Structure 1
Amino acid sequence: MMQVVTRYFDAFNAGDTDAMLACLTDDVAHHVNEGQVRKGRTAFAEFCAHMSRCYAETLSDIVILSDPSGTRAAAEYVVNGTYLVTDEGLPEAHGQTYQLPAGSFFDIVDRRIARVTTYYNLADWTRQVSA
């Protein structure tokens, strides 16, 4: 089941939202670091469109772990990004770069991702883009 998580991250790094969506269940629950839980592929696609407008990001040093049943997985990675356009409520963007440790947790159902929960240190990101 780790293959679906690997495909998800490969699609993220390729900037291929459609390939990311193909990894998800129709009713995926997307728990973002800050904000409300988004439900469904449409909400996930809208989030991706917003993120692509404001940020250019790739992930490196990805380590994926899963439980023996294959129904849960976790990943640790580094977000390498450029802040492109000011995101509402955040510091002004002017092309700042950042590197941020992050992690995600997944529920896997029928070889698709049913839940994505992502965590990172927003205060660390804010310090980096405000420097």
Structure 2
Amino acid sequence: MLTAEHMSALIRRYFDGCNDADVEGMIACFTPDAVHYFPPGMYGGAWRGARTIAENWAHRVATLGSAWTIDRLLADPASAQAVIEWSHFKTAEGTVLRGDEWYVFDEASGLIAEIRAYYASPVDPTRAELALDGYDYAGRGYPLTCPVPRPHATQRTSST
């Protein structure tokens, strides 16, 4: 039986794996056939399979200096679903992307089976922060700087 504590801890473990570029750690959070969906035009479409998801995020850490925070998290064990609000710091580009993700858990294994990502703003290469216009991120306690130092912070690369 799923609990809110288990669901929250697994999502946090997944994000720790993302920040550490720990492929095996991320894989352990997913069903083997998990799917991560993105908005149109993002990351080449849906990523299918736990290994694909993990390797793609590890690649983003290596090439974009990516680091993530979980800013809000709600878990509903009765529906086997959770939702988070996150910030994605692409330190090599000097950009911040904000959004939400909807998680669906496999009740039998307790692992993540699906993630649906929703972004606060379409990708706009002229903006350093892709977020909701007029929303007081600072006033509401959201991170404004990347909490994880990245060696790529001075490097510029493409935004995929």
Do these two structures clear the TM 0.5 threshold for a shared fold by scoring above it? Answer: yes
TM-score by length of 2: 0.62
Gaps of 5+ in 2: 1-6, 129-160
Structure (1 or 2) with the greater strand fraction? 1
1:24 matched to 2:21? The reply is: no
Give runs of aligned pairs for residues 77-96 of structure 1, distance below 5 A.
77-83=86-92, 96=93
Are the counterparts in 2 of residues 76 and 103 from structure 1 also a CA contact under 8 Å?
yes
Q: Which has the higher helix share?
A: 1
| Structure 1 segments (4+ residues) deviating >4 Å | none
Q: What is residue 102 of structure 1 aligned with on the other side? A: 99
When the two chains are superposed, the root-mean-square deviation of aligned CA atoms in Å is 2.1
Q: What is the deviation of 1:48?
A: 2.6
Equivalent position of 1:55 in the other structure = 64
Equivalent of residue 85 in structure 2, options 76, 85, 104: 76
Q: How many pairs does the alignment contain? A: 116
User: Match of 1:123, SS?
Assistant: coil
Give 1:72 deviation, angstroms. Answer: 0.5
Shift of 1:61: 5.2
**Contact (CA 8 Å) 1:2, 1:70: kept in 2 or not?**
no
Name the CA shift for 1:81/1:41 in 2 (closer, same or farther; >3 Å): same
Q: Describe the SS at the equivalent of 2:78.
A: coil
- Provide structure 1 residue ranges, at least 5 long, that are not aligned to the other structure: 84-95
Q: Work out the percentage of aligned pairs sharing the same amino acid.
A: 27
Contact 2:17 2:23 (8 Å CA) reproduced: yes
Distance 1:74 1:11, change over 3 A: same
| Post-superposition CA distance 1:8-59 (Å, at most 9, x none) | 1122222222211110100101112323222212322442344234311112
Match of 2:113 in 1: 114
2-side partners of 1:127 and 1:119: how far apart?
20
Determine helix, strand or coil for the equivalent of 2:126: helix
